[in-house]
Amino acid sequence: MIKKVLITGANGLLGQKLVQKLAERTDYQVIASGKGKSRLPDDWTSGYTWIEMDVADKNQVQEVFALHQPEVVIHTAAMTNVDECEKDKVGCRRANVEAVRNLVQACKAHQTFLIHLSTDFIFNGDEGPYDETAAPDPINYYGETKLESEKIVQESAIKWAIARTVLVYGIASDMSRSNIILWVKKSLESGKTVQAVNDQWRTPTLAEDLADGCILIMEKEATGIYNISGKDLLNPYQMACMTADYFGLDKSLIKEVDSNIFTQPAKRPLKTGFLIEKAQKELGYSPKSFMDGIGILSKQIKLADS
């Protein structure tokens, strides 16, 4: 039985990994969607259909559901730049809250299973790492909108799962944003000093692992909340040093600082990170170590450069 899967935000890092993994399979029919034209690699020509859809446009969402009748939606689209969310609250709310309300209504009308992506930034960072039962308390507007969207999903009458994640890193086609590994590697190779904070703790997540976690939720039709992140609790200074070690770069260029030296529009929680035992036990989720993740990225960088 072939299952129809609609992926929102398919131009993004996680969206691309999901399309890549699912398009290779014969048991899924993939409908990849994004606000504009496809930025997926040119050599990915089969295994999926691309459609333009703005999830914040209620009419577009309803039209796509009526036409394609998806059995599962993996909702990766969101406004995730934390500082931009703080500065453009109207845009953030449209992308992160109204869009989810539109999807929930469409899922209800079509009996569609919704897998919704969420974030560690729904927590204040006082008592991390967190399990799925911890009480949310966001300290920035991005976190507030993601928590509100979680509540919309949880209070709906649809079949749902929420996959919460942390600091996703990886490489995708035509990427609009970098990640800590690429930034540190490029900076150190150029002989630039890197300032990396030592007082913010995360469980960084390889994009491929997050995609696998979402697929496991879909395959097992698991409902409820799951923490889908990496397993290593690290601060950015440690991540930068591990990156330098892996690539044999000069660690003396990495300066250990605390987050008070940076002035940013949005507050960051200090210690988040996730406990992932539930996903490991119930889904068979098994993420890579951060060092293994760097190795995977290294191979992908070489392929991209070749």
> pLDDT digit string (tens) for 126-170?
999 999 999 999 999 999 999 999 999 999 999 999 999 999 999
| pLDDT recorded at residue 91 | 98
Say yes or no to pLDDT of 306 above 80: no
Q: What is the pLDDT of residues 183-242, one digit of tens each?
A: 999 999 999 999 999 999 999 999 999 999 999 999 999 999 999 999 999 999 999 999
| pLDDT recorded at residue 44 | 86
Helix/strand/coil (H, E, C) string of the chain?
CCEEEEEECCCCHHHHHHHHHHHCCCCEEEEEEECCCCCCCCCCCCCEEEEECCCCCHHHHHHHHHHHCCCEEEECCCCCCHHHHHHCHHHHHHHHHHHHHHHHHHHHHHCCEEEEEEEHHHCCCCCCCECCCCCCCCCCHHHHHHHHHHHHHHCCCCCEEEEEECCEECCCCCCCCCCHHHHHHHHHHCCCCEEEECCCEECCEEHHHHHHHHHHHHHHCCCEEEECCCCCCECHHHHHHHHHHHHCCCHHHEEEECHHHCCCCCCCCCECCECCHHHHHHHCCCCCCHHHHHHHHHHHHHHHHC
Taking the whole predicted model, whether its pTM rises above 0.95 is answered as: yes
Q: What is the pLDDT of residues 16-44, one digit of tens each?
A: 999 999 999 999 999 999 999 999 998 88
Enter the CATH code of domain 3-171+205-231+273-288: 3.40.50.720
Say yes or no to pLDDT of 175 above 90: no
How high does pLDDT run on average in the chain?
96
- List the chain domain ranges: 3-171+205-231+273-288
